[in-house]
Amino acid sequence: MRAAAFATLIATVAGPSAATVSYFGGPVIENAKVYAVWWGPGIRLSPMVNAPKGGMADFFTGVLDSSYLDWLNEYDTDLAAQGGARAGSAGTNQHIGRGNFAGVFELDDIPPGSVTDEQVQAVLLDSISKGVLPADDRNSVYAIFFPSSVNIDNSCKPRDGFEAYHYATAGAVNGVVYLVIADCGIKATNYFGEVASHELIESITDRVPTPGDVPDYPQAWNDADAFEVADLCDSVAGASVPTLLGTFPVQKIWDNASNGCSSTHTFAQDYNVALEPSVVELQPGQTLAVTVRTATVAGSAQPLVLSVTTPAGLNASFDNAAIASGGSATLTLTLNADASVPRDSQVVVSAQGTTGARSQRHSAAVLLQPPEFTLYVGRQSGELSPGGSTTVPIGITPLHGEVGSVQLSVSGLPAQVTGSFSSIAKGTATLTLRGHGAALVTDAQFIVTARGPTATHSAAGLYTVTPGHGCSTSGDGLLLFIAALATLATRRQR
């Protein structure tokens, strides 16, 4: 919900009383496509957010393609609204399935200091219109992470405060969906995973929340008091979800089927579907194959019927569209020679089966995106006298595909410091900083940029220059502190 109670998402007190959620006729998100967005330089964020391994990029990549999303199909909307002004009217006929993580972006043109939700919305929409952020579609979710120095309205306040919320711009059915995730200074390792999963799942199952305690359209799944599926489990101990990138902490979610909180649920007969690879690049006239893997997770193997939805100009076919759960099929994708599809489009594969009592559908998505990588600028400190030097580790980590040749550059260094790079070998390089006699500059920022054939990434570093080890401030010596963390701004070439 928009204003979760402060410091409740990692609490482990008594669980919720018996409740249920109902459908109020609004839309859900079928195959969430999440962009992680840093509010300002990523270096200012918690290391638990922007860590190169195990940070929020890995979290979203893993969790969106895991069992944590499979059971959310119980919140599909192929039913009539059960409450509110639209009770009895047809729902939106949407089916929730697995999604994709689509990259990390850094916002530089932001208001100083703390902000309001209205300012967050304005920056988000302006960044999309200028191409700083990718264009949104029906599955897009922009997860915005803030440094601890920035409050959003009354975030992190001990009275009537919140840690995070989700919303759609202007509260509109077709508004841009975003998550606001504040850093309230909580050091628990499960903090960001539980908070982010809370808001992610609520944005999926209730795309457009509305203020107040009387739920109605355009809300989707809520209880009678307007609590969403994660709100009902705020006070329950979290869980860990295994993914292809490791195990991540998540919050448990209300499960209507069992009338309790859970991180997964299986019916008497159940299965799942996954795609390999789940991210591909497809050029005009090109054909490639994707393996559709299914698994029986409860009961015995059952017959499944596969179907696929694609962007215009992209043709798809299965070698066998009728398989048994536990089996696999090959999906062949061909992009017409005269066609192009928007970057970050999705191909969605659905598998129709049964719970043992009724029909159900599981789905997964292939993200259409050129080869991608992340940029990491390491932490370093060292004393620079005229002619002296220190080094900073640089990492280039492919996310998928053949990244190709990457060129490194640095900008924004003070006049008394120059930088040069070694060659990139096995994904690593070294930035060597050399000191020269000049007036001292303090508390400034430099930018490392990595330009590849299909994307350009930039990472901001901060430096503080102070007299070092007996050196005077006249320029005969300085101490340069560098701090930067991984997976920062993505500036895509078009």
pLDDT in tens, 380-400: 555 666 777 778 888 887 777
What does pLDDT average to over the chain? 87
**Predicted confidence (pLDDT) at residue 322 exceeds the cutoff of 50:** yes
pLDDT band of residue 8 (cuts 50, 70, 90) is very low
247: which 2 tokens? 């195990």
Flag whether 417 is in a domain. yes
Those residues whose C-beta lies under 8 Å from the C-beta of residue 110, and which sit 6 or more positions away, are 39, 40, 123
| Cα–chain center distance at 180 | 12
pLDDT at 398 (0 to 100): 77
**Predicted confidence (pLDDT) at residue 479 exceeds the cutoff of 80:** no
Mean pLDDT score, 127-139:
96
Which of 99, 170, 106, 107 lies closest to 141 in space, CA to CA?
A: 99
For residue 429, the enclosing domain spans 372-491
Task: Identify residue 157 by its one-letter amino acid code.
Answer: K
Q: Give the residue from 262, 283, 316 where a domain finishes.
A: 262
pLDDT at 443 (0 to 100): 57
Task: Tell me the pairing of strands 287-298 and 328-335.
Answer: antiparallel
Task: Note the pLDDT tens digit of each residue in 268-287.
Answer: 999 999 999 999 999 999 99
Flag whether 52 is in a domain. yes
Pure H helices in 132-171: none
Flag whether 5 is in a domain. no
pLDDT at 18 (0 to 100): 53
Are 206 and 108 part of one and the same domain? yes
Flag whether 10 is in a domain. no
Domain at 413, CATH number? 2.60.40.10
pLDDT band of residue 459 (cuts 50, 70, 90) is confident
pLDDT band of residue 488 (cuts 50, 70, 90) is very low
pLDDT at 492 (0 to 100): 34
Are 138 and 155 part of one and the same domain? yes
Q: Give the residue from 262, 293, 310 where a domain finishes.
A: 262
Mean pLDDT score, 6-25:
57
**Predicted confidence (pLDDT) at residue 134 exceeds the cutoff of 60:** yes
pLDDT band of residue 185 (cuts 50, 70, 90) is very high
Are 106 and 202 part of one and the same domain? yes
Task: Note the pLDDT tens digit of each residue in 229-275.
Answer: 999 999 899 999 999 999 999 999 999 999 999 999 999 999 999 99
256: which 2 tokens? 């209507």
pLDDT at 457 (0 to 100): 82
Are 416 and 469 part of one and the same domain? yes
Are 277 and 159 part of one and the same domain? no
Are 364 and 376 part of one and the same domain? no
**Which sign, positive or negative, has the C-alpha torsion 172, 178, 184, 188?**
positive
Name the helix (H) or strand (E) containing 121. Answer: helix 117-129
Flag whether 463 is in a domain. yes
pLDDT at 341 (0 to 100): 92
**Predicted confidence (pLDDT) at residue 9 exceeds the cutoff of 50:** no
Flag whether 7 is in a domain. no
Q: At what angle do helices 191-205 and 56-63 cross, to 10 degrees?
A: 40
Name the helix (H) or strand (E) containing 126. Answer: helix 117-129
Mean pLDDT score, 327-348:
96
**Predicted confidence (pLDDT) at residue 301 exceeds the cutoff of 90:** yes
Those residues whose C-beta lies under 8 Å from the C-beta of residue 259, and which sit 6 or more positions away, are 18, 19, 20
Flag whether 12 is in a domain. no
Flag whether 14 is in a domain. no
**Predicted confidence (pLDDT) at residue 35 exceeds the cutoff of 60:** yes
Are 237 and 305 part of one and the same domain? no
Are 337 and 480 part of one and the same domain? no
Name the helix (H) or strand (E) containing 69. Answer: helix 67-70
- List residues bridging with 177 in a β-sheet: 168
Q: Give the residue from 262, 280, 308 where a domain finishes.
A: 262
pLDDT at 388 (0 to 100): 76
* Location of structure tokens 């990718």: 134
Which of 395, 375, 392 lies closest to 462 in space, CA to CA?
A: 392
Which of 181, 197, 187 lies closest to 238 in space, CA to CA?
A: 197
Domain at 251, CATH number? 3.40.390
pLDDT band of residue 219 (cuts 50, 70, 90) is very high
Mean pLDDT score, 186-195:
94
pLDDT at 462 (0 to 100): 66
- Which has more pLDDT, 372 or 204? 204
- For 318, the 3-state DSSP assignment is strand
pLDDT band of residue 343 (cuts 50, 70, 90) is very high
CA of 223: how far to CAs of 6, 82, 212, 257, in Å? 21, 11, 13, 14
Are 44 and 69 part of one and the same domain? yes
Are 351 and 456 part of one and the same domain? no
pLDDT at 489 (0 to 100): 38
pLDDT at 383 (0 to 100): 60
pLDDT band of residue 377 (cuts 50, 70, 90) is confident
Query: For residues 106 and 145, what is the distance between their CA atoms, to the nearest angstrom?
Result: 10
Q: How many domains are contained in the chain?
A: 3
Are 245 and 322 part of one and the same domain? no
Angle at 393 between CA 392 and CA 396, to 5 degrees: 140
Are 219 and 279 part of one and the same domain? no
Angle at 197 between CA 193 and CA 203, to 5 degrees: 150
